[in-house]
Chains A and B, each alone.
Chain A
Amino acid sequence: MSEPVPEGIIWLIFFLPVASFAAIALWLRRAPRLAGLTTVFAIALAFALSLYTLAEVIGENGVAVGFGTHELFSAGGLIVNVGARIDGLSAVMLVVVTSVSLLVQVYSLAYMRGDRGFSRYFAYMSLFTAAMLGLILADNLIMLFAFWELVGIASYLLIGFWFHRPAAAAAAKKAFLVTRFGDLGLLAAVILIWSRAGTFDIAEINSDVVALVGLGLFGQTTLTLFALGLIAGAIGKSAQFPLHIWLPDAMEGPTPVSALIHSATMVAAGVYLLARFFPVLEASAFASDFIAWIGAVTAVGAALLAVVQTDIKRVLAYSTISQLAYLMFALGIGAYPAAVFHLMTHAFFKPLLFLGAGSVSHTTNTFDMTKMGGLRRAMPLTYITFVIGSLSLAGIIPLAGFWSKDEILIDAWDHNKAIFIFGLIAVGLTAFYMFRVISLTFHGDYRGGEPPAPDEHGVDPSHPHESPRNMTVPMAILALMAVIAGWITFGGEFQTWVNGALPQFEEGHFEWRTGIFLASTALAVAGIGGAVLIYQRGLIDVAALRAAPLVAPIDRLLANKFYMDVLAEELLVRRLFYGGGARLAAVFDVQVIDATVNGVWRATFNLGRWGRLAQNGQVQTAAAGLFVGAAVIWGVVVIF
């Protein structure tokens, strides 16, 4: 096979951020400015190389470019390799990740200015980008899993970046643990597939193993279990029900982090994983249905929750969950190219929204929408980009979000009407909560922001102003992408590239269904209109509505996030696990095991205490001992 891209280039993409991480960690801790620039430079270079790679891969119609593997280590039958795999899917992802990362880093230069952990921030960001790129490039499951975990750690470090805030530290831990819960499934899948198929190679699993299943030579159940393991990993990483609870909390991290990691890249890794193993999903009907329904439920549920949030970033977080759920059910119903497409468009408009939120908070010191309002005059650029992003998200033609969402809906209509309904409901809700945000944030009167905490950097929020150029330019670029990124779909080429990653080549095509377009647009517009009417025009008194007899229980349900967090944290972890199982074990350890050990010793000790009483210093006792001893010996002889 010819090599359109030299392997060195691919590895360079990966090692550039690695190098920047190492450089910052080792030498640039005390040179924040240099650290930031190093990162930006490294990622810019990586972005350029990614573009080059993508271009070359497009030239090959997205078919995988294989490189040799490199043995990392072996142990008996186990051989662990390192290798890169470039195909349409990963090339697209490379570009998405590096581009978003680049923009976010640039934005961060301004956003994080003055933070004590500036260098540390960029080190983590480099680490994250490197890990994410490694995850994308991985050609085998072990490597994929390794980077999967590294991405999680980078996320952990970044969520807990402001570790002095207890909430941030707790959120970081929660994020890692919840995702790791899902990772167990992935790990199990890795182990399972190796023990049954003896390979980690993604391509082999996708083609050979799936083919074997088709021939009945490989257990269908095993494959389903494997797929479920992957799904578990994806659910954790992509914050799907029921493991979604970490993502809203993860908003404690710096906003650029949320933009990069928790909207565009890492959370999309779950989708990427499933997309990578799309043939496996396809081969297992149960797994497909499972993920489809998980996605459908999550899409609507998260959108509902987004409606009641007052924290702008939490709205966006639930929105992310909801959108990722779209991707999930898209994969579940077989809309693989559409899912990747939406993944890409989402990776542009969602960071944009986050950056916008960051821009807002940059001047108001808060993410609480109840303290904002009327910012559209003070921050026109932010306002415009935010609206573009919201429209794109809401799926208004001709913005990027529309095209990708439309494709998913079309496929859903074709495959599963029920899920299609869920998708439509989510569309309406999405439009509603986004414009609720816009109304509350940018319209009406300014409600004063939040004065900065004494020990933190921050500005006086009484006079809101536009953010510096370092922040607005990336937003503008993203806004542009949020508009145009969807247009690549028209020729069907995008689908073709992406399909190139599959074992069987399949030409991509573009579809248009007016009915579905009308339905979704109508719902979106209705959502927008409703939000504007309620939150901007004050058509309905929201407080009164929420207190209304029928609505109140629903409101309470939503306000408590379906009681999921309580269930998980309070009941399962704190009560059942920490207060129950773990406590039992700890008590058992002290009261039973250690007590037994000490008891044996004490018994020996007491035996001595009593035993010595026999040595009462009396000659005659001792003499009796002689005869008793004789009797004992005699007894022994008689007995034995």
Chain B
Amino acid sequence: MDSVGFHLAFWSLAAITVGGALMVIVSRNLIHAVIYLILSFIGVAGLFLTLSADFLALVQILIYVGAIAVLMLFAILLTPHAIRDNAETPMRYPAAILMGLVIAAGAFVALETDWGAMRDEAIPAQARVIGESLINHYVLPFEIGAVLLTAALVGAIALAREDEEDVPIHRDSLAQESLAQEAPGGLPEAAVAVAPPASGPAAGPSSPSAGGPSAGGGA
């Protein structure tokens, strides 16, 4: 790992990774930010390669770049009225301090810790070994992971699709919102309290409640 090429590869990939990430911060356009994010992901994938984790690098590219980043782009496109300037909140100052602290602490730990003996060679034949491991040693997490993905899928669909039959629970009203913006004295809960009573409990499952105008879903 002392070869010049390796050095070059490591440093450039590190630069890409970190630089991409930094550009996510700096970039003034959300779409650009996603692009830089992808760059950073690719950098990480490259670093995986330098660590002989070929399979993971592949997965990294596939999932992060191919799925996650793309999802984000879609999401950005689907929220046309939302701001796109990748602006920052006033939290950026404390965030910067925390960032500094975390990096310092992480670097300190990384550099000062006795990490024990070092291995010379990477483990071989990774894709197959990992696969075997997944269905042997880690079959339980694997199973759970499958359920997790199912749950996420189902959940995302359940959330994303529009259900006209839903009976809204919170009556949205202007009063509620205005109250929410007030000083601590005026509480958003008060608005909930003002809401008219819910429909009778006997209301059938498929019959929408008669109580209150259903203003919940309107986009």
* A630 → B minimal CB distance (Å): 8
A634 vs B89: C-alpha distance when bound (angstroms): 27
Extra contacts, 17 of them, besides A624-B91, A628-B98, A631-B101 (Cβ < 8 A), are A609-B184, A612-B184, A613-B184, A618-B89, A618-B91, A620-B89, A620-B91, A620-B95, A621-B91, A624-B94, A624-B95, A624-B98, A627-B98, A627-B101, A627-B102, A631-B98, A634-B105
Residues of B within 8 A of A624 (CB): 91, 94-95, 98
CA distance A612 to B189 in the complex (A): 14
Q: How far is the CA of A634 from the CA of B108 in the complex (A)?
A: 14
Tally of contacts, chain A with chain B, CB under 8 A: 20
In the assembled complex, the CB of A617 is this many whole angstroms from the nearest CB of chain B, namely 8
Give CA–CA (A484, B105) in the complex, Å. 114
Find chain A residues with CB under 8 A from B98 CB: 624, 627-628, 631
Q: Can you name 20 A-B residue pairings with CB atoms under 8 Å?
A: A609-B184, A612-B184, A613-B184, A618-B89, A618-B91, A620-B89, A620-B91, A620-B95, A621-B91, A624-B91, A624-B94, A624-B95, A624-B98, A627-B98, A627-B101, A627-B102, A628-B98, A631-B98, A631-B101, A634-B105
Question: What is the chain A residue whose CB lies nearest that of B92?
Answer: A620
A residues 428-448 near B (Cβ < 8 Å) are: none
Closest to B94 in A: A624
Whole-angstrom distance between the Cβ of A508 and the nearest chain B Cβ: 92
Q: Which residue from chain A places its CB closest to the CB of B88 in the assembled complex?
A: A620
Against B, the Cβ 8 Å flags (1 = close, 0 = not) of A617-640 are 010110010011001001000000
B77-98 CB contact bits vs A (8 Å, 1 = yes)? 0000000000001010011001
Nearest CB of B to A298, in Å: 71
Closest to A613 in B: B184
CA distance A583 to B94 in the complex (A): 55
User: Closest approach, in angstroms, between the C-beta of B24 and any C-beta of chain A?
Assistant: 16
Using a CB–CB cutoff of 8 Å, the interface residues on chain B facing chain A are 89, 91, 94-95, 98, 101-102, 105, 184
Measured between C-beta atoms, what is the minimum distance from A624 to chain B in Å?
5
Closest to A627 in B: B98
Residues of A within 8 A of B105 (CB): 634
CA distance A613 to B184 in the complex (A): 7
A596-613 vs B: 1/0 string, CB under 8 Å? Answer: 000000000000010011
Q: Tell me which residues across on chain B come within 8 A of A627, comparing CB atoms.
A: 98, 101-102
- Shortest CB–CB separation between residue A556 and chain B, in angstroms? 67
Residues on B with C-beta less than 8 A from A609 are: 184
Q: Which residues of B contact A612 (CB under 8 A)?
A: 184
Nearest to B99 among chain A residues (CB) is A627
Q: How far is the CB of A639 from chain B (nearest CB, A)?
A: 16
A198 to B102 alpha-carbon distance, docked (Å): 79
> Top 3 A-B pairs ranked by shortest CB distance?
A620-B91, A627-B98, A624-B94
Min CB distance B96 to A, Å, is 11
B91 to chain A, nearest CB (A): 4
How far in angstroms is the closest Cβ of chain B from A413? 90
What is the minimal beta-carbon distance from B54 to any residue of chain A, in angstroms? 34
| Assembly CA distance A613 to B187 (angstroms) | 12
Closest Cβ–Cβ distance, residue B154 to chain A (whole Å): 25
- B95 partner residues in chain A, CB cutoff 8 A: 620, 624
Q: Provide the bound-state CA to CA distance between A537 and B94, in Å.
A: 108
* Alpha-carbon distance between A627 and B101 when the two chains are bound, in angstroms: 10
B89: chain A residues at CB < 8 Å are 618, 620
Chain A residue numbers with a CB within 8 Å of B102 are 627
Bound complex: CA A621 to CA B95 (Å): 10
CB distance from A143 to the nearest CB of B (A): 69
Q: How far is the CB of A441 from chain B (nearest CB, A)?
A: 80
Nearest neighbor of A620 in chain B, beta-carbon distance:
B91
- Complex contacts, A618 vs chain B, CB 8 Å: 89, 91
The answer for the CA separation of A603 and B59 in the assembled complex, in Å, is 56
Q: How far is the CA of A263 from the CA of B101 in the complex (A)?
A: 95
Q: Which of A618, A620, A634 has the most CB of B within 10 A?
A: A620
Residues of chain A lying within 8 A (CB to CB) of residue B91? 618, 620-621, 624
CB proximity to B under 8 Å, residues A493-531: none
What chain A residues lie within 8 Å of B184 (beta carbons)?
A: 609, 612-613
Give the contacts of A227-279 with B (CB-CB under 8 A): none
A628 to B97 CA separation, bound complex (whole angstroms): 10
| Bound Cα distance A609, B187 (Å) | 12
**Which residue of chain A is the closest to B183 with respect to CB atoms?**
A613
Nearest residue in B to A612 (C-beta to C-beta)? B184
Instruction: Report the minimal beta-carbon distance from B184 to chain A, rounded to whole angstroms.
Output: 6
Chain B hits for A631, CB < 8 A: 98, 101
CA distance A621 to B98 in the complex (A): 12
Measured CB to CB, the closest approach of chain B to A296, in angstroms, equals 77
**Cα(A620)–Cα(B88), bound, Å:** 11
Chain B: minimal CB distance from A640 (Å): 18
Of all chain A residues, which has the CB nearest B98? A627
Residues of A within 8 A of B101 (CB): 627, 631
A137 CB → nearest B CB, Å: 75
Q: How far is the CA of A563 from the CA of B91 in the complex (A)?
A: 79
Of chain A, the residue at the smallest CB distance from B102 is A627
Chain A nearest CB, measured from B50 CB (Å): 30
Measured in the bound complex, the distance between the Cα atoms of B96 and A624 in whole Å is 11
Chain A residue nearest to B105 (CB atoms) is: A634
The CA of A631 and the CA of B105, in the complex, are separated in Å by 10
Q: Report the Cα distance A209→B7, complex, angstroms.
A: 110
Q: How far is the CA of A613 from the CA of B94 in the complex (A)?
A: 17
Question: Nearest residue in B to A610 (C-beta to C-beta)?
Answer: B184
Q: Which residue of B lies closest to A624 (CB)?
A: B94
- Considering the chains assembled together, what is the distance between the CA atoms of A609 and B184 in angstroms? 8
A636 → B minimal CB distance (Å):
14
**In the assembly, what is the distance between CA of A613 and CA of B105, in Å?**
30
CA distance A609 to B91 in the complex (A): 22
C-alpha spacing A188/B105, complex, angstroms: 75
Q: Which of A609, A613, A631, A634 counts the most chain B CB atoms within 10 A?
A: A631
Q: Bound complex: CA of A497 vs CA of B102, how far in Å? A: 106
A588 to B98, CA, bound (A): 50
CA distance A624 to B92 in the complex (A): 10
Least CB separation from A609: chain B residue: B184
- Docked complex Cα distance between A628 and B184 (Å): 24
Q: What chain B residues lie within 8 Å of A634 (beta carbons)?
A: 105
Question: Please, which residue of chain B has its CB at the minimum distance from the CB of A628?
Answer: B98
| B13–chain A nearest beta-carbon distance, Å | 27
**Complex alpha-carbon distance, A627 and B97, angstroms:** 11
B32 to chain A, nearest CB (A): 22
Q: What CA separation (Å) do A627 and B91 show in the bound complex?
A: 13
Task: Enumerate chain B residues within 8 angstroms of A628, measured Cβ to Cβ.
Answer: 98
Which of B89, B95, B98 neighbours the largest number of chain A CB atoms within 10 Å of its CB? Answer: B98
Complex CA gap A618/B91 in Å reads: 10
A620 to B93, CA, bound (A): 12
B187 — nearest CB in chain A belongs to which residue?
A: A612
The CA-CA distance from A627 to B106 in the complex, in Å, is: 13
A538-567 Cβ-contact flags toward B at 8 Å (1 or 0): 000000000000000000000000000000
Interchain CA distance A631-B100 in the complex, whole Å:
12
Q: List the B side residues contacting A620 at CB < 8 Å.
A: 89, 91, 95
**Which residue on chain A has the smallest CB distance to residue B91?**
A620
